[in-house]
Amino acid sequence: MQGFRLGSIFGFEIRIDLSWLLIVFLILWTLSAGLFPANYPGLSNATYFGMGLVATFLFFASLLAHELSHSLVARTKGIPVEGITLFIFGGVSRTRMDAEHPDDEFQIAIIGPFTSLVLAAFFGLIAYIGTNAGWSVVVTGVASYLGTINLILAIFNMLPGFPLDGGRVFRSLIWKYTGNQKKATKIASTSGKWLAYLLIALGFWELFGSALLSGLWLILIGWFLYNAAEAGYEELLIRTSLEGVKAQEIMTPHPETVNADLTLQDLVDKYFLSRRYQSFPVTEDSHPIGIITLNQVKDIPREEWIYRTVRDAMIPTDTGVTARPEEQMSQVLEKMQESGVRRVLVTQNGSLKGIITANDVAHWLRRQRDLGNQMG
Ligand SMILES: [Zn+2]
């Protein structure tokens, strides 16, 4: 998940996914044209719009506070946090790894809903005091909306389905009780999937009960949760399987290479069309200097293929697409993800030892599974 960079708080990079712009618009519209005019009649359109803007902004700040609290606690537990991305259904803290102890996971997970609950109490109190003191509904209306939405956030996030916060709390408790993280994740993910089914069913029920928009929302959220529950479990399976495994155990050794001065036309004719590989290491004087995939070639207009060379199109090795033979696979996977080409060259002292593609990882995992080497 990329998105654009907003800035940074406490050293955490804040990013916004493009899908978030859609939700900002939806919230602003729902509030300015729907909720506020219905609840507080008799104000001007400009006032409703102003209330909508402030409420949307503070809703955004509330979500950020929720995620920041996760990130801050994670950091005190020694878990590196890259930053926070806000997207259509809220936010995620981008961490490089999971908690190693169930108690840590419990604290990291529960602080988020707790923060939302504190915010709900804070805004609720403002609304309560303001209403009794006769403040303008412009203030109390916004405050009471924020109190409600933060309460909903706290409750929704505490539903016991992984990867929601409540699901993580649930997982940490089973993990602590059984001492088995994988089993705990499986149970919490299954519960996440059931929760997703329930949300989808509720959504369809609302759909036929003529609450079109909220029905669609529930279905969308349920679908998202289902996928997240499945992905979360599979990611853990891969991570635990690859724990302690080194790059040289996974790599395909001595891969076929192409010369940097080869034209793209020759590359396509003599390599891509006649071999089953999607990528080749690029060498110069038998040293690896880059990697070329079919995608890079496709980016260059076909009529230029006769004179452009592999060197023009390749991804150079200095962009982080190399790993050492003894490097941990957990690190290598990150490089594969970040480089954007989903493969790395394994090099040692300037010479090529092998290549690792997503296929190599998949093969290795399948072999382990066939050999029954996987735990549980
Ligand atoms: Zn959370």
Rounded (to 5) percent helix, strand, coil in the chain: 60, 15, 20
Does residue 364 form part of some domain? yes
CA–centroid distance, 111 to ligand 1, in Å, is 8
Residues 263 and 135 in one domain: no
Residues 263 and 130 in one domain: no
CA–centroid distance, 113 to ligand 1, in Å, is 6
The tens digit of pLDDT for each residue in 60-71 reads 899 889 989 998
Question: Is 179 in a helix, a strand, or coil?
Answer: coil
CA–centroid distance, 74 to ligand 1, in Å, is 12
Residue 180 contacts residue 376 (beta carbons within 8 Å): yes
Q: Where is pLDDT greater, at 215 or 73?
A: 73
Q: What is the predicted pLDDT for the residue at 308? A: 93
Residues 44 and 167 in one domain: yes
- Residues spanned by the domain of 140: 4-242
Q: What is the predicted pLDDT for the residue at 372? A: 62
Q: What is the predicted pLDDT for the residue at 375? A: 46
Of 93, 28, 88, whose CA–CA distance to 64 is shortest?
93
Tell me the HSE value of 347 on the side-chain side, using a 13 A CA sphere. 21
The pairing of strands 4-9 and 351-357 is unpaired
Residues 289 and 357 in one domain: yes
How many other CB atoms are found less than 10 A from the CB of residue 97? Answer: 12
Q: Where is pLDDT greater, at 268 or 88?
A: 268
The tens digit of pLDDT for each residue in 159-208 reads 888 888 898 899 999 999 998 888 888 898 899 899 999 999 999 888 88
Rounded percentage of the chain residues whose pLDDT exceeds 90: 34
Indicate the number of domains in the chain: 2
Q: For residue 172, what are its two tokens?
A: 């940490």
CB within 8 A of 48, min separation 6: which ones?
Answer: 31, 32, 33, 36, 37
Q: What is the predicted pLDDT for the residue at 330? A: 79
CA–centroid distance, 67 to ligand 1, in Å, is 6
Q: Flag whether 254 is marked binding.
A: no
Q: What is the predicted pLDDT for the residue at 1? A: 47
Ranges of H-type helices in the chain: 18-29, 36-39, 45-76, 102-133, 137-157, 165-178, 181-208, 212-242, 247-250, 264-266, 294-298, 310-313, 329-339, 358-370
Of 64, 82, 60, whose CA–CA distance to 11 is shortest?
82
CA–centroid distance, 158 to ligand 1, in Å, is 9
Does residue 376 form part of some domain? no
Determine the average pLDDT of the residues in 252-270: 91
Least confident of 86-95, 144-153, 173-182, 236-245: 86-95
Helix (H) or strand (E) holding 353: strand 351-357
| Distance spanning both ends of the chain, measured CA to CA | 31
CA–centroid distance, 318 to ligand 1, in Å, is 36
Q: Flag whether 165 is marked binding.
A: yes
Q: What is the predicted pLDDT for the residue at 299? A: 87
Catalytic annotation on 338?
no
Question: Is 209 in a helix, a strand, or coil?
Answer: coil
Q: What is the predicted pLDDT for the residue at 96? A: 58
Q: Give the residue from 189, 212, 242 where a domain finishes.
A: 242
The pairing of strands 252-253 and 351-357 is antiparallel
Determine the average pLDDT of the residues in 319-329: 87
Does residue 36 form part of some domain? yes
pLDDT category at 78 given cuts 50, 70, 90 is confident
Residues 198 and 283 in one domain: no
The tens digit of pLDDT for each residue in 346-363 reads 999 888 999 998 888 888
- Residue list, CB under 5 A from ion ligand 1: 112, 165
The tens digit of pLDDT for each residue in 143-158 reads 999 999 999 989 988 9
Provide the CATH number for the domain around residue 322. Answer: 3.10.580.10
Determine the average pLDDT of the residues in 92-120: 86
Rounded percentage of the chain residues whose pLDDT exceeds 70: 95
Dist. CA 287–CA 137, nearest whole Å: 71
CA dihedral over 259, 265, 270, 276, signed as positive or negative: positive
Q: What is the predicted pLDDT for the residue at 208? A: 84
Does residue 262 form part of some domain? yes
Q: Where is pLDDT greater, at 229 or 197?
A: 197
CA–centroid distance, 105 to ligand 1, in Å, is 12
pLDDT category at 97 given cuts 50, 70, 90 is low
Residues 220 and 269 in one domain: no
Active-site residue, selected from the candidate residues 13, 67, 206, 326: 67
pLDDT category at 376 given cuts 50, 70, 90 is very low
Q: What is the predicted pLDDT for the residue at 229? A: 82
